[in-house]
Amino acid sequence: MSPSRNIPAWLRPTSDHPPPHPRQSPSPLVSGDPNLTTCLYQTDHGVFYLTWSRTFLGGHSLNLFLHSQDYYNRSSPLSFSSADLSLSSAVSFHLNLNTLAFWRRRGSRSVSPKIQVFWDLTRAKFDSGSEPRSGFYIAVVVDGEMGLLVGDSVKEAYSRVKSAKPPTNPQALLLRKEHVFGARVFSTKARFGGKSREISIDCRVDEDARLCFSVDSKQVLQIKRLRWKFRGNEKVEIDGVPVQISWDVYNWLFQSKSSGEGGHAVFMFRFESDPEAEE
């Protein structure tokens, strides 16, 4: 398996004025205009797709799917949707974390004869993002083995599922995808080079349109004359780790003006040859 990791980010701008045409209906799995974070994990049992969402009303939800390695190899990891994943998934699990409704913060569920999902979010702490920051675990036991374990409460998970054996091979994070609604500046976190870092994107769309990428408040790449360079990629090195940065801001720059609706931008970060990348 390649040691590289992808972190794409989808951005859609907000506006002080409502669009002249109604927006499309949201996905039935998520209400409102949610922030979405999807992580793909490679395991001995296949590829897990784990999606956290957050609405503007403060509600959260979790969707979990399991697909074969062949399905992942055939599909585009950047264009998948929850609806497509649920139709062909060997495992489909949904948890609604709505703050206005009752939901089980701790529980388990059998999703197939050999697969069980365990979760504990009684101490979960959420910030402005879609996924919990700390105090939780999501565990998937496949045929008596810990197939997937996410969250920082690892000891609690193994203590609860005492019969589960550790996996033969550790899970690996293949891709992390974030979809957010924002104005100009977007930030996220990633672990590479042995520590957690904050990645910031500043997309200016005025007459002097430009794109700036920063890591831990230090600018690592600036794209000027953005109206002519609305798509591209550059490789930079951050503390010895090669990082391939790709961007596509065509819709962000031009679609919102021509249609009166918000466009979107796509950014991707590929971390290469980093044995200490977070899994």
Q: What is the pLDDT of residue 170?
A: 92
Euclidean distance between CA atoms 154 and 137, whole angstroms: 7
Q: What is the pLDDT of residue 16?
A: 37
Please state the pTM of the whole predicted model: 0.74
Domain borders along the chain are 1-30+184-279, 36-174
Strands across the sheet containing 115-120: 106-112, 115-120, 137-142, 145-151
Spans of the chain, pLDDT less than 50: 1-4, 13-34, 275, 278-279
> Is 93 in contact with 112 (CB distance < 8 Å)?
no
Q: What is the pLDDT of residue 260?
A: 55
Q: What is the pLDDT of residue 101?
A: 54
Q: What is the pLDDT of residue 201?
A: 92
Q: What is the pLDDT of residue 92?
A: 86
